[in-house]
């Protein structure tokens, strides 16, 4: 928590103390040894340890100035409300990116997704969808698990769609879009596990869905995307080759086209279809767990089953937006 103090007295200050209380109970005291001249300001920071889930009143009070008790108590207190979120209700964000082997600007999408995964592990969930111009990595439109509805809605590449709500560039816009989507509180919790059958041909997914408020006539759909990492051996057009279009995390040193890289988070299918299937249709009681089980055959496009993830997406059918999601490797029950 950051705050600002201002010296409105008649003397320069050599330092001050801030006493911090939460819900009326002492939390911590910080001492700041810094000169603050008359009519000048200073910024302080206090780390508030995690407390119980819910809303709390945080109070910050100037205790001492220049080693003595503050003489002007009428203007030495600031308060704010602090919300401690239930970690079960973390908002995970799905980024469906439209890209192509034929797209010379798309290497920046590959870079953008990798940077976001590093910065927000477990919360940022990318799905790289190839399509257009006879792309060899596109899922055939005649497959039930095709991404054709998503591909047909795009006007160009590279472009990303955050939770099917906001579109932008997967390198330049993606962080701002992610921050916008995670800023509001999430009222829907979602967890899942995925398991192979005995001969590793089918995957069974078990989902647990929960709301933190009572809901009347709630409706949610669910869809499962299979993605694969470490896919290589395809020509990728690269407009960053040679550095004429600036640096792009080493892509300027690669050839055009290039095979010298791996595709990660490559969409191999969405089940049973892009809009999902009904999983909730009726009233939901707050903090009650609602279970859903689904099963599907592993897509034939998968090259190495050891490198796949299953991404569950909980979809609001009225808006088409993804309200929460979860990613898991089959067999790794309950891990993101």
Q: Please say whether the beta carbons of 58 and 1 come within 8 A.
A: yes
pLDDT digits (tens, 9 = 90+) for 197-234: 999 999 999 999 999 999 999 999 999 999 999 999 99
- Reading the block at residue 124, the tokens are 């940022």
Residue 283 CB-density burial (10 A; 0-12 exposed, 13-18 middle, 19+ buried): exposed
pLDDT for the residue 90: 94
Cα angle for residues 274, 278, 282 (degrees, 5° grid): 150
Tokens 């103090």 locate to: 5
For the chain, helix (H) and strand (E) counts, in that order, are 3, 19
On the question of a cis peptide bond just before residue 272, with omega within 30 degrees of 0, the verdict is yes
Rounded Cα–Cα distance for residues 193 and 295 (Å): 12
DSSP three-state, residue 179: helix
pLDDT digits (tens, 9 = 90+) for 90-134: 999 999 999 999 999 999 999 999 999 999 999 999 999 999 999
């Amino acid at each position: 928590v950051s705050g600002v103090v201002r010296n409105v007295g008649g003397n320069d200050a050599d330092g001050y103390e801030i006493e911090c209380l939460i819900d009326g109970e002492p939390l911590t005291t910080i001492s700041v040894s810094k000169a603050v001249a008359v009519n000048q300001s200073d910024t302080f920071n206090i780390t508030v340890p995690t407390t119980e889930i819910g809303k709390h009143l945080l109070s910050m009070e100037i205790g001492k100035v220049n080693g003595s008790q503050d003489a002007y108590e009428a203007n030495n207190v600031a308060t704010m409300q602090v919300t401690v979120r239930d970690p079960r209700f973390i908002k995970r964000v799905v980024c469906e990116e439209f890209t192509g082997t034929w797209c010379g600007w798309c290497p920046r999408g590959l870079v953008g997704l990798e940077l976001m995964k590093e910065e927000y592990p477990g919360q940022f969930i990318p799905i790289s969808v190839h399509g257009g111009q006879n792309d060899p990595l596109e899922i055939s439109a005649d497959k039930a698990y095709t991404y054709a509805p998503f591909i047909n809605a795009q006007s160009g590449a590279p472009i990303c769609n955050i939770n099917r709500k906001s579109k932008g560039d997967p390198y330049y816009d993606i962080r701002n879009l992610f921050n916008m989507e995670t800023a509001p509180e999430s009222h829907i919790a979602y967890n899942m596990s995925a398991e192979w059958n005995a001969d590793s041909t089918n995957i069974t997914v078990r989902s647990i869905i929960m709301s933190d408020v009572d809901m009347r006539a709630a409706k949610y759909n669910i869809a499962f995307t299979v993605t694969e990492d470490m896919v290589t051996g395809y020509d990728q057009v690269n407009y960053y080759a040679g550095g004429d279009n600036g640096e792009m995390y080493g892509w300027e040193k690669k050839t055009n086209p290039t095979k010298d890289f791996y595709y990660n988070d490559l969409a191999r299918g969405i089940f049973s279809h892009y809009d999902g299937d009904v999983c909730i249709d009726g009233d939901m009681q707050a903090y009650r767990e609602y279970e859903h089980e689904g099963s599907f055959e592993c897509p034939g496009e998968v090259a190495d089953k050891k490198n796949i993830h299953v991404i569950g997406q909980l979809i609001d059918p009225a808006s088409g937006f993804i309200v929460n999601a979860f990613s898991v490797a089959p067999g790794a029950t309950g891990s993101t």
